[in-house]
Amino acid sequence: LNISGYKNTKQRNKIIQILQNAKTPVTAEEIYLQVKKEPTSIVLSTIYRNMETLLKKGIVTKTIYSDGKSRYELTQERHTHRVICLKCNKSIILEECPIEFIEKNLEEQDGFEILEHKIEIYGHCADCKTVKN
């Protein structure tokens, strides 16, 4: 999992382990709180720096949610899209990717070179739908 010139530290491995267990993208702070209890605590700046490193290596993917916080997840084999609950931020993975239809036109007609795309659908998940406020 961890090759290519970078070092293999406790902190880095712990972070990757947390990302592996996460069912949904997590914030730096969520990672921080999760290790805080354990003897192996990690400082926030270390988490951010590792995220940057892992981003460069393509191991993690970063998305800024509508609350303004960056969330990180392990990069998926096939790129995915998520449906995100506005209340609890839980997410569902979308199987379909409708972008392919659009890409061709965009590249041919507008000369736009597509590098990445994000689909974010917001709403209330089944759990939160019933909760008031």
Q: Positive or negative CA dihedral for 5, 51, 103, 111?
A: negative
The answer to the question of residue 129 lying near a second copy (CB under 8 A) is yes
Dist. CA 40–CA 15, nearest whole Å:
11
| 7, interface contact from a second copy, DNA, none, CB < 5-8 Å by kind | DNA
Closest approach, Cβ 11 to a second copy, in A, equals: 24
The answer to the question of residue 111 lying near a second copy (CB under 8 A) is yes
Phi, psi of 82, rounded to the nearest 5 degrees? -125, 155
The only residue of 116, 131, 132, 133 in contact with a second copy, by rule CB under 8 A: 116
Question: What does the DSSP 8-state code read for residue 85?
Answer: E
Dist. CA 64–CA 51, nearest whole Å:
14
| 6, interface contact from DNA, a second copy, none, CB < 5-8 Å by kind | DNA
Residues that bind DNA (CB under 7 A): 5-12, 27-29, 41-46, 48-53, 64, 68-70
The answer to the question of residue 102 lying near a second copy (CB under 8 A) is yes
Dist. CA 57–CA 52, nearest whole Å:
9
- 42 C-beta neighbours (distance < 10 Å), count: 22
Query: Of 33 and 121, which has the nearer Cβ to a second copy?
Result: 121
| 10, interface contact from a second copy, DNA, none, CB < 5-8 Å by kind | DNA
Q: What angle (nearest 5°) sits at the alpha carbon of residue 114, between those of residues 56 and 84?
A: 70
With tokens 């839980």, the residue in question is: 90
Binding site for a second copy (CB under 8 A): 64-66, 68, 70, 83, 85-86, 92, 94, 96, 98-99, 101-103, 106, 110-126, 129
